[in-house]
Amino acid sequence: MTVRIIGIGSPSGDDQAGWLVVDALLAGGVQAGEGLAIEKLDRPGATLIPHLENMSRVILIDAMQGGGPAGCIRHFDQNDWPGYGGGLSSHGFGVLDALALARELGSLPPRLDVYGIEIGSAMPGEAPGAAVVAAARQLARRIAAELR
């Protein structure tokens, strides 16, 4: 089984949520190696698609603005995200757009889990808020437990 964990973000406040999860996974002892790739991407848009190919499972983590409180974690599997009407990304051509394109191209992995962390402020140069940092750590523990 080949698994890839992708934290998506930018250096703008709470938009670092996906990166924070990757950092917490690595700090908690989850290491890339045979069968597991872990990476951070900066607003990848359509360039996300090659990162999905030839994987058995992909776990994507990104900031989202869906109207919930900052730090709320949402999980979307392949049945959930196509119908999600809220914004899962603040990146122009966002994650859901890239996933929809990947589906049309036949590039989705057999298992795809998308996690969104609700954010507050995403101002450039701002530090992430405490609620998002706590949620990132919580989600990292959850993902690490799943991988065991």
Tell me the per-residue pLDDT of 49-107, one tens digit each, with 9 for 90 and over.
Answer: 999 999 999 999 999 988 899 999 999 877 766 555 444 444 456 787 888 888 889 99
Q: What is the pTM of this model?
A: 0.89
Which percentage of the chain shows pLDDT scores above 90? 68
> According to the model, what pLDDT value does residue 83 have?
56
Report the Cα 2 to chain-centroid distance in Å.
17
pLDDT-above-70 percentage for the chain: 90
**Helical ranges in the chain per DSSP H:** 17-27, 49-52, 95-105, 130-147
Q: What is the pLDDT of residue 86?
A: 46
Alpha carbon distance 49, 105 (integer Å): 9
The whole-angstrom separation of Cα 61 and Cα 76 is 10
Residues 22 and 59 sit within 8 Å (Cβ to Cβ): no
pLDDT at 90: 45
pLDDT, residue 100, reads: 85
Q: How far is CA 61 from the centre of its chain?
A: 1
- What digits encode the pLDDT tens for the residues 19-58? 999 999 999 999 999 899 999 999 888 899 999 999 999 9
Q: Report pLDDT for 82.
A: 58
- The CA distance from 85 to 89, in Å, is 12
